[in-house]
Structure 1
Amino acid sequence: MGRSLTGRAWAARPAAAELVRRHQNMLGLSEPLARALASRGVGPEEGEVYLNPTLKAQFPDPSSFRDMDRAAEVLVDALVRGRPMVVFADYDVDGAASAAQVVRWMRAMGSEVPIYIPDRVTEGYGPSPTVFRTLKEKGAELVVTLDCGAAAVDALETAREIGLDVVVIDHHLMRPGEVPPAAALVNPNRPDDNSGQGVLAAAGVAFVLLAALNREARRRGLFAGRPEPDLRQWLDLAALGAVCDVTALTGFNRALTAQGLKVMSRWANPGLKALADIGKVSGPATTFHAGFILGPRINAGGRIGRSDLGARLLATDDPQEAAALAAQLDELNGQRKAVEQAVLDEAVAILEADRSHESAPVLVVSAPGWPPGVIGIVAGRLRERYRRPVVVIGVDLAAGVGKGSGRSQPGVNLGAAVQAAFDAGILLSGGGHAMAAGLSIRPDRIPDLTDYLAGALGAAQARAQEADTLELDALITPRGADRTLLESFARLAPFGPGNPEPLFATASVRIERPIAMRGGHIRVTLSDSAGGRLKAVAWRAEETPLGQALLAGGVLHVAGRLRPDDWQGRASVEMEIEDAADPRSADFAGSGPVA
């Protein structure tokens, strides 16, 4: 098919025909479902484990992680000796979920450990020499950093100088050959780690740490007079971190998330239960609940409120405290949405004013006063809108510094380019990974950064744009979009990076009853010549070519994801529209499997 309204080509997700047939025969699957499984790289002997992921089959040996055994020894020794400990975590969901796991294990062993979360604005990301000195002065002998610390060279060197032991539990990329000093540094992405678990979020690494802690405590006979902590009860926290940190749901991480969502569905964690009640979550927990209802509220404290609220919520056993914290986070999340929308509107206006987005391979947009807590979200929204890498910079005029956050697209390594810009002297600090980056910069160097990124990423962006394809799992009709189809493909869940949620296309459907809703969303009904009808919604689409085409009505090819629609007990489905194309300008070659 030719280019769509979002500028993409459409194609059936590629799958080898022989592998599709083997999945059909071995697993008893329909052809479209077997094709979807094959297209996700699942081999002929891996289908059963993929469809039914278990920790028993995929849990790694904790000892395969560099320094994991040492970390367990240090922490259990500190527990036995009663050494004053502090859990230090990042201010996002992954950090909070990681911290809550360690705190809960220590609590089960009879020790209450305080949590320290740095303030995003005043302290920035990760530990610093100043914070470590302060913790040491207040009596801490051991600090456990979670979801941060692996790159905090100055802070860890300071800790060594002042006699403060530090155990680092992290998952962020590290520079080759750079392993800062620590009592133990556990990170599946450290250069000399051979665990093969680099896709894990910090919460996943923390869960493996709990297994190592149980093993070490068992070795020392600490369970002779007390029950061994049942780690399965905290799988919900590991899954929450995996989903909200947008990690690849493959291998062990997929099993961890699948089983964690089952545990989450019991809503035994008082903090998650309180958030679920506020968010009106019902039924089994899904990646959608974790990523779009629970996660944003937990993150809200670190973005515009008190940074420790999320970790406290996930760590508490007191339902009343959980309810109060959840209400506070919900209120902050509402404020965050308003701030985010204001920044997004201003950023779009700046870009549209000089049409800079039309030809620039990388968009860099800045303004005074944009809060650091929302610029990453805004960068992601702009990347969705303009389909190219975006860096958003909030400038603090009083301090003379801009804080920036960037989001990229497959095939364009933004983190490497930002790191190179730092090495070139353009930035005060900068780094990240392929799809996201953070930086700080003097305001007068922002034009230099814009030019540098355009030169560094122009060719890659051109290739990525040419290859920007919407890969479809099946061609359906409005009548065929029912709960049976939805539940069949749900066997592939949990969905996320590495296991994309199925995308379906409907050909030449009529757009009926288009309604623009508050927030820029558009609701329509899709109908076909056979009388089939399917409700659909396009989120935040009103000001885009896609939204304008939907509002105009007519006949379109439409692609999207299916969602349950249980309004008034109807047990139906609706489509979340991802893209559309005009049949008059693009011939639907979509052939693809019909479900």
Structure 2
Amino acid sequence: MIRRRELAAKPELEVAGLHPLLARVYRGRGIASADELELDLSRLIPPAKLTNADRAAVLLADAIEQRQSILIVGDYDADGATSTALALSALRDFGAADASYLVPNRFEYGYGLSREIVDLALKGKRPDLIVTVDNGISSIDGVAACRDAGVRTLITDHHLAGSELPDADVIVNPNQPGCDFPSKNLAGVGVIFYIMLALRAELRARGWFESRQEPNLGRLTDLVALGTVADVVPLDQNNRILVATGLQRIRTGQARPGILALLEVASRSRGSVVASDLGFAVGPRINAAGRLDDISVGIECLLQPDQVGARRLAAELHQKNQDRRLIEQDMQEQALQLLQRLPLEEEGVPVAMTLYRGDWHQGVIGILASRIKDRLHRPTIAFANGDAGEIKGSARSIQGIHIRDILDAVATRHPGMIRKFGGHAMAAGLTISADAYEDFDRAFVEEVGRHAEDVHLQALVESDGELSAGEFDLGLAEALRYAGPWGQHFSEPVFDGTFRIVHQRLVGEKHLKLVLSPLGSDQLLDAIAFNIDLDEWPSESVESVELAYRLDVNEFRGRKTVQLMVEHIKAL
């Protein structure tokens, strides 16, 4: 279903000299003035506004001055990997004598700073200070174990806090109670970047750089851009500043070798990279390491100082991503078989969905939940076997259903049913007893039902309207491509219209290549629809279609042409 955005009149944007189409697109995303489109680093919200960033800076500066051992405890996704790489890079540039990292293997230890991870850290070289990145706000027991062992803790996180906070030396999290930081949407990598800005200011005030070169923290923004986009956090103006700055470094070849190598193996041009390239090409290759094996391969790729080492690790990550795709494809087929056994035709699709198979891969259930969520447009949780009679679930949600709050409500109504959970509005993870699955399924569906009354349970494609014949223009397509950065809550422009099919054919296994003409025009346009339903397309009986599409640029053998990237297709 296509729904056109409602646009408030904002003549300031047209007065500012924007192309009328760009002004229309920005109005549809709530932009009220041209100032909101300024993405210079000077407009970044100051670190002083992030609660406890100054205290974190003092803690880290003391550790650096006293040559103490600092251990970064990260997470096993792309946000966690970029956060870990950023923290280590900055600390080493600042002159930390002993900085290392540890990331829990998801299959052995699970998520976050647990007691088991603290025990593992203490078995090696005992750290003086443990710094969490992209995790820790729910690590009550792990922080207590650190305190018992005399190890100081700095928690840096962005996930929503529970009813109890860990008893850490310092907590920096824009979403913790009492923090009035204007942007609540920082990714984990954004939080640690802010702390490093505050640390530089603290070291500068101490005269630390009188005898050593002061590092340029702008060079870390390629990591910030990657982690922010890959974690699918909302792109408010502050995050757009961070992402735009990082993208500019990548386009000019100033990015770290690991990111350039990952773009290379993904066949993406460094000079024309946009946010979606980070989200759909680079991020998944890093995530594949954490899903299938050990995220440290991704972290080491990001830390590589030269292109030779980076290319070797990028090739390894590329292969892991290929393996992940094969596993995911099998799991999707199995999930669809499970759905076919449900009486969805008679009873209708429930307001929420859970799926469970004991032999599913723990590292891939999040992607599976996302695919089923997209197919049914329902909050979905996929479960796989864990250890000792437990099953682990990965949840994905739709707009209007805050999945972590749903899990919190289930846990409150049914004490003991969920052993642990965490996450944010659109994604979460949880652990339950295998014996509790059916009871949880009922409780989850009931809880979503309580919140779904005003939520669209039919997939909607929001459109920025129809394009005129003169707007199918290469220059305008390129302007739209770089007018973002586009992403969560600042979506890439989508348009709609009706077209006559001039030609259609299948390319690859399930992609539909089209030549179209807008109704009432003899203009010819190339279009492609990915992953189409092979039972419906290609169809020689269909002469015209309703489309929702993105206006994009196709480059082949050095020649650029306009191409429509189809988001929705319906036969007329």
Q: Is structure 2 residue 28 aligned with structure 1 residue 39?
A: yes
> What residue is the counterpart of 1:84 in the other structure?
69
C-alpha separation in 1, matches of 2:470 and 2:426: 38
Q: Partners of 1:101 and 1:462 in 2: how far apart?
A: 43
1:133 equivalent among 116, 119, 122: 119
Moved more, 245-254 or 27-36: 27-36
8 Å Cα contact 1:478/1:506 also seen in 2 = no
Q: Which moved more, 1:280-289 or 1:222-231?
A: 280-289
Are residues 323 and 549 of structure 1, via their aligned partners in 2, closer, same or farther at CA, if it must alter by over 3 Å?
closer
Give the superposition deviation at 1:317. Answer: 1.3
The residue aligned with 1:159 is 146
Determine the structure 2 residue equivalent to 1:99. 84
Look up the SS of the partner of 1:302 in the other structure: helix
Deviation for aligned residue 1:155: 0.5
- Aligned match for 2:341, one of 345, 353, 365: 353
Larger mean CA deviation between 489-498 and 454-463 belongs to 454-463
> What SS does the aligned partner of 2:324 have?
helix
SS in 2 for 1:375: helix
Match of 1:223, SS state, is helix
Corresponding position of 1:592: none
Question: How far off is 1:197 after superposition?
Answer: 2.2
* 1:68 corresponding residue in structure 2: 53
Is this contact kept in 1: 2:373–2:380, CA < 8 A?
Answer: yes
Instruction: Tell me how far apart the structure 2 counterparts of residues 102 and 437 of structure 1 sit (CA, whole Å).
Output: 25
Distance, in Å, in 2 between the alignment partners of 1:552 and 1:345 is: 29
* 1:247 paired to 2:222: no
Shift of 1:447: 1.7
Instruction: Write the distance in 2 (CA, Å) between the matches of 1:455 and 1:502.
Output: 35
Tell me whether 80-89 or 417-426 shows the greater mean CA deviation.
417-426
What's 1:537 paired with?
Answer: 528
Task: Determine which of 137, 144, 166 is the counterpart of 2:131.
Answer: 144
Per the TM alignment, residue 279 of structure 1 is displaced from its structure 2 partner at its CA by 1.6
Deviation >4 Å, runs of 4+: 477-480, 547-552
Alpha-carbon contact 1:55-1:252 (below 8 Å) kept: no
CA distance in 2 between counterparts of 1:445 and 1:91 reads 27
Distance 1:548 1:364, change over 3 A: farther
Secondary structure in 1 aligned to 2:73? strand
For 1:321 and 1:571, the matched residues in 2 are separated by: 33
Shift of 1:213: 1.0
1:338 to 322, 326, 337: 326
Which secondary structure state, in structure 2, belongs to the residue aligned with residue 566 of structure 1?
strand
2:247/2:273 contact within 8 Å kept: yes
- Stretch deviating more after TM superposition (476-485 or 452-461): 476-485
Matches within 5 A, 1:296-335: 296-335=284-323
Which segments of 5 or more consecutive residues in structure 1 lack a partner in the other structure? 1-7, 584-595
- What CA RMSD, in Å, does the superposition of the two structures yield over aligned residues? 2.1
Pair 1:289 & 2:277 matched: yes
Cα distance change on mapping 1:225 and 1:468 into 2, 3 Å: same
Q: Say which is worse superposed, 27-36 or 89-98, in terms of deviation.
A: 27-36
Shift of 1:436: 1.4
Q: In the TM superposition, what whole-angstrom CA distance separates every residue of 1:142-167 from its partner, at most 9, and x where no partner exists?
A: 11110001110111111111111111
Letter in 1 for 2:357: A
Report the TM-score when normalising by structure 2. 0.94
| Identical-pair percentage | 31
Asked if the contact 1:512–1:553 (Cα under 8 Å) also holds between the matched residues in 2, the reply is no
Determine if the alignment matches structure 1 residue 474 to structure 2 residue 465: yes
For residues 53 and 492 of structure 1, the distance between their equivalents in structure 2, rounded to whole angstroms, comes to 11
Q: SS of the counterpart of 1:465?
A: coil
Task: Identify which range, 305-314 or 235-244, moves more after superposition.
Answer: 305-314
Deviation at 1:515, TM superposition (A): 1.3
Match of 1:521 in 2: 511
- Conserved 8 A contact 2:463-2:494: yes
Counterparts in 2 of 1:296 and 1:267: CA distance versus 1, 3 Å: farther
- The residue aligned with 2:564 is 575
* Aligned counterparts of 2:18 and 2:421: Cα–Cα separation in 1: 48
Distance apart, 1:462 and its partner CA: 4.9
Measured after TM superposition, the shift of residue 549 of structure 1 is: 7.5
Count of matched residue pairs = 563
Q: Deviation digits for residues 553-586 of structure 1, max 9, x if unmatched? A: 3211111112210012221122221113344xxx
Confirm or deny: 8 A CA contact 2:504 2:538 kept in the other structure: no
**Residue number in structure 2 paired with 1:443:** 434
Q: Which residue of 1 aligns with 2:398?
A: 409
Structure 1 counterpart SS, 2:210: coil
Aligned equivalents of 1:198 and 1:82: distance in 2? 33
Work out the CA distance in 2 between the residues paired with 1:11 and 1:549. Answer: 25
* Aligned partner of 2:6 among 2, 14, 18: 14
| d(CA) in 2 for partners of 1:491, 1:270 | 23
Q: 1:471, CA displacement in angstroms?
A: 2.0
| AA aligned opposite 1:311 | I
2:175 is matched with which residue?
A: 189
Task: Tell me how far 1:252 sits from its aligned partner.
Answer: 1.2
The separation in 1 between residues aligned to 2:106 and 2:201, in whole angstroms, is: 35
Q: Does 1:220 align with 2:211?
A: no
Contact 1:431 1:438 in 2 (8 A): yes
Relative to structure 1, is the Cα distance of residues 340 and 159 closer, same or farther in structure 2, using a 3 angstrom cutoff? same
SS at match of 2:461: strand
Q: Verify: 1:376 aligned to 2:361, yes or no.
A: no
Aligned to 1:586: none
Is 1:558 equivalent to 2:547 in the alignment?
yes
Q: Determine helix, strand or coil for the equivalent of 2:308.
A: helix
Q: Deviations over 1:406-463 (max 9, x none)?
A: 1111112222222222331322222322211211122232221221122111253353
Higher relative contact order (CA 8 A, sep 6+): 1
**Please, which runs of 5 or more residues in structure 2 have no aligned partner?**
none
1:455 to 437, 446, 454: 446
SS at match of 1:143: strand
Partner of 2:491: helix, strand, or coil? coil
- In the TM superposition, residue 60 of structure 1 has moved relative to its aligned partner by 2.1
1:498 aligned residue: 489
Aligned partner letter, 1:429: K
Contact persistence 1:418–1:432 (CA under 8 A): no
Q: 1:75 to 1:91 in 2, by over 3 A?
A: same
Post-superposition CA distance 1:316-366 (Å, at most 9, x none): 213332222111111111101111111111101111222448421111111
Secondary structure of 1:150's aligned partner? coil
SS in 1 for 2:130: strand
3-state secondary structure, aligned to 1:104: helix
